[in-house]
A and B are shown apart, each in its own frame.
Chain A
Amino acid sequence: MSLLLLIAGLPTAAAAAYLLMTSPTGAALDAMAGRELLVQIVYLISSVLFVLGLRSLTKPDQARRGMQLAALGMVFAIVGTMLNQGILTYSWIIGGLIIGTVLGYPLGKFVPMTAMPQRIAFSHMFGALAATLVGVGEYYHDIQVPGAPGIERFKMAAIGFEVLFGSLTVTGSFMAFGKLQEFITGRPITFKGQNLFNLALFASALGCFVWLIFNPFDVRVFYVMLAVGFAIGILMVLPIGGADMPVVVSLLNSYAGLAASATGFAIDNNVLIIAGALDGASGFILSIIMSKAMNRSFGNVLFGAFGSAVTASGKTSEGLVAKSISAEDAAVQLAYAGRVVFVPGYGMAVAQAQHQVRELAELIEKNGGEVKYAIHPVAGRMPGHMNVLLAEANVPYDKMYDMDEINDSFAETDVTVVIGANDVVNPAAKNDKTSPIYGMPILNVSESRNIIVLKRGMNPGFAGIENELFFDEKTNMLFGDAKSSLTKLVSEVKGL
């Protein structure tokens, strides 16, 4: 908390120091300083509200109120900026604000929860585009307008960083959006010498960046850097598979934040620096959590082209037979089970089966059973994806358990129902050193007394790896679309 106060105090201290250094005597100038001081105080309040808003997300029952405070903080920041002395015309601003509101409202109100991963990727693109355009505009103003004041190195570095990170986030997010929306194939796209080519692109962008710091008037280099940034975004996401999108989306979240922060450095604005740094930290932490949950390094996610070379390794299923079960028999098992755990995966999201899951769970509870939901950190296509879908279906959040919370209790579970999850329950991650997912933390589903797996068919999951859980003698496969299987189960359990 003391750190919070410290950070909150800094911008005011900076503003005060700035005023002391720059305000000469004279009534007119004092009035200006007063306005500037007001703007800085408003920014300070917004910064504090942003931090409090994010902090409220640590407690689910306070989160909503907290985020409303953060939204208020944003209103303050906008109003404060409008008071800025440097703003001379308002028509373009107000036009932009109105258009943005008209576009943003449906994106917030009507996008279904199942489309959340692509929706988030899409809006990273918007955020990064705004930062990039501001960077280009600032540069253009400082360099190219006749009689321009020029640009000093620190500011050039900030603008360069902003434009580089902004541009690669714009195209990178667009690619992630495309892969999640599936108008670009979710499979990794690779070509010979790809990593070397990407590395060369990175190096050239970095070269442009350093060159500009010392030669800011080299306009052509600036636009080359911008173009290379766009290219990097596309090429960086191209070889990354759909299942790795949680890491990518989180990383792009971080980049969008850092680009905003760099804008703050470029135009000397603390609220931008603070909010950008918060976003940058958030995205960075999320991508680390996601990588850990897949037991992979950043480098491996970004350059590994997971899934392309996988088919050669890992156990095959030859000679093994998976038992299938009818909906009637599965219903009997579930109806009289004492402890049931549901393990949702991307398959549940695709089938939009969350409502049927909740319906089935309520029937089991009515029969006196206890139901829990076990959620792996990388289940789905973004951090927390499953939690949001279940919450949408009115599943209370105190029944959703993280991997670490629930892993020890599978042994006491009568029936575990796996709904469209695959790699996150694959025991090969524990006991098969040749498996590409070896070492990845998984849900210990195989320890439970009975397992029912809802699956469309026997083809392997996204990582392309066979899952020996399906051939376990405790496992019964219920084939079919998750939603219709669950609907059948619900009516069977009702009929018992």
Chain B
Amino acid sequence: MTATQIIQLYVFILAGFVGFLVITKVPPLLHTPLMAATNAISGISLVGSIVLSGGQYGKVSTILGFIAVICAMTNVVGGFIITDRMLSMFKRADSKPNAPQDTTGGAA
């Protein structure tokens, strides 16, 4: 193994820890948006797909990469939109009277 590969393992394991610490604190209330959000973030495969599709690795790789870009981009766009849609529905009982305050958040 090279030094870069060791560092990759470090990054993976520490990111896993961060994920674990952060996600154990997410309340059950938001577990569905969490799934939608991680789904959108898993669209990060897009990075790999773009490199494969644009790297002139040959026809087969370009086409595989092209399909992968479509799949990953679908997840990115659909995932972030649906997460936002869901989160916009979660409101507190006391936020209803303060409607003006709420709409500024909604418009963003």
Whether B99 is near chain A, meaning CB under 8 Å from some CB there, is no
Q: In the complex, which residues of chain A have a beta carbon less than 8 angstroms from the beta carbon of B66?
A: 92-93, 95-96
CB neighbors of A among B18-33 (8 A): 18-33
Tell whether A78 pairs with B75 under 8 Å between CB atoms, given A67-B87, A129-B68.
Answer: no
On B, residues with C-beta under 8 Å from A are 1-5, 7-8, 10-58, 60-62, 64-96, 105, 108
Q: In the complex, which residues of chain A have a beta carbon less than 8 angstroms from the beta carbon of B60?
A: 137, 140
Query: Closest B-chain residue to A141, C-beta based?
Result: B57
Q: Is B90 a contact partner of A391 (Cβ separation < 8 A)?
A: yes
Query: Closest B-chain residue to A387, C-beta based?
Result: B29
- B-binding segment of A5-13, A27-35, A411-419, A462-470: A5-13
Whether A88 is near chain B, meaning CB under 8 Å from some CB there, is yes
Whether A101 is near chain B, meaning CB under 8 Å from some CB there, is yes
CB neighbors of B among A311-357 (8 A): none
Q: A46-57: contact bitstring with B at CB < 8 Å (1 yes, 0 no)?
A: 010011011101
Q: Is A270 a contact partner of B38 (Cβ separation < 8 A)?
A: no
Q: Is B85 a contact partner of A6 (Cβ separation < 8 A)?
A: no
Q: Is B61 a contact partner of A58 (Cβ separation < 8 A)?
A: no
Q: Is A383 a contact partner of B32 (Cβ separation < 8 A)?
A: yes
Query: Closest B-chain residue to A55, C-beta based?
Result: B22
Q: A357-379: contact bitstring with B at CB < 8 Å (1 yes, 0 no)?
A: 00000000000000000010100
User: Which of B2, B18, B67, B75 interacts with A278 by CB under 8 Å?
Assistant: B18
Q: In the complex, which residues of chain A have a beta carbon less than 8 angstroms from the beta carbon of B67?
A: 96, 129, 133
State A100–B76 Cα separation when bound (angstroms).
9
Q: Is B86 a contact partner of A275 (Cβ separation < 8 A)?
A: no
Q: Is B74 a contact partner of A281 (Cβ separation < 8 A)?
A: no
Query: Closest B-chain residue to A105, C-beta based?
Result: B77
Whether A17 is near chain B, meaning CB under 8 Å from some CB there, is yes
Q: Is B16 a contact partner of A277 (Cβ separation < 8 A)?
A: yes
Tell whether A277 pairs with B15 under 8 Å between CB atoms, given A63-B90, A65-B108.
Answer: yes
Q: Is A134 a contact partner of B77 (Cβ separation < 8 A)?
A: no
CB neighbors of B among A176-223 (8 A): none
Q: Is A402 a contact partner of B74 (Cβ separation < 8 A)?
A: no
Q: Is A70 a contact partner of B37 (Cβ separation < 8 A)?
A: yes
17 new A-B contacts at CB < 8 Å, known A96-B73, A133-B71: A70-B80, A82-B50, A99-B70, A107-B82, A120-B35, A123-B74, A137-B68, A260-B42, A274-B12, A275-B42, A277-B19, A279-B38, A279-B42, A281-B23, A283-B38, A383-B31, A384-B29
Q: Is B57 a contact partner of A137 (Cβ separation < 8 A)?
A: yes
Q: Is A60 a contact partner of B12 (Cβ separation < 8 A)?
A: no
Tell whether A264 pairs with B17 under 8 Å between CB atoms, given A67-B83, A134-B49.
Answer: no
Which of B16, B35, B61, B90 has the most CB atoms of chain A within a 10 A radius of its CB? Answer: B35
Q: A256-284: contact bitstring with B at CB < 8 Å (1 yes, 0 no)?
A: 11011101111111111111111111110
User: Which of A101, A136, A377, A388 interacts with B86 by CB under 8 Å?
Assistant: A388
Query: Closest B-chain residue to A138, C-beta based?
Result: B52
Q: In the complex, which residues of chain B have a beta carbon less than 8 angstroms from the beta carbon of A279?
A: 19, 38-39, 41-42
Give 23 A-B contacts (CB < 8 Å), ordered by A residue.
A3-B18, A7-B14, A7-B18, A47-B15, A63-B30, A63-B87, A90-B54, A92-B65, A93-B65, A95-B66, A96-B49, A99-B70, A116-B32, A116-B86, A138-B61, A269-B47, A273-B15, A280-B19, A281-B19, A282-B35, A285-B24, A382-B31, A400-B29
Q: Is A272 a contact partner of B81 (Cβ separation < 8 A)?
A: no
Whether A171 is near chain B, meaning CB under 8 Å from some CB there, is no
Q: Is A92 a contact partner of B86 (Cβ separation < 8 A)?
A: no
Nearest CB of B to A375, in Å: 7
User: Which of A54, A77, A92, A93 interacts with B37 by CB under 8 Å?
Assistant: A54
Is the contact region of chain A dominated by helix, strand, or loop, or is it mixed?
helix
Nearest CB of A to B29, in Å: 5
Q: Is B48 a contact partner of A134 (Cβ separation < 8 A)?
A: yes
Q: Is B3 a contact partner of A17 (Cβ separation < 8 A)?
A: yes
CB neighbors of B among A440-478 (8 A): none
Tell whether A137 pairs with B44 under 8 Å between CB atoms, given A58-B27, A88-B54, A109-B85.
Answer: no
Q: In the complex, which residues of chain B have a beta carbon less than 8 angstroms from the beta carbon of A50?
A: 41
Q: Is A141 a contact partner of B61 (Cβ separation < 8 A)?
A: yes
CB neighbors of B among A70-112 (8 A): 70-71, 74, 77-78, 81-82, 84, 86-90, 92-93, 95-97, 99-101, 103-109, 111
State A289–B37 Cα separation when bound (angstroms).
18
Q: Is A86 a contact partner of B77 (Cβ separation < 8 A)?
A: no
Q: In the complex, which residues of chain A have a beta carbon less than 8 angstroms from the beta carbon of B16?
A: 277-278, 280-281
Nearest CB of B to A436, in Å: 24
Q: In the complex, which residues of chain A have a beta carbon less than 8 angstroms from the beta carbon of B79?
A: 104, 108, 123
Q: In the complex, which residues of chain A have a beta carbon less than 8 angstroms from the beta carbon of B77?
A: 100-101, 103-105, 107-108
Q: A131-166: contact bitstring with B at CB < 8 Å (1 yes, 0 no)?
A: 101101110110001000000001000000000000
Query: Closest A-chain residue to B77, C-beta based?
Result: A104
Query: Closest A-chain residue to B89, C-beta based?
Result: A391
Which of A50, A265, A377 has the most CB atoms of chain B within a 10 A radius of its CB? Answer: A50
Q: Is A273 a contact partner of B8 (Cβ separation < 8 A)?
A: yes
Nearest CB of B to A217, in Å: 17
Q: In the complex, which residues of chain A have a beta carbon less than 8 angstroms from the beta carbon of B14?
A: 3, 6-7, 10
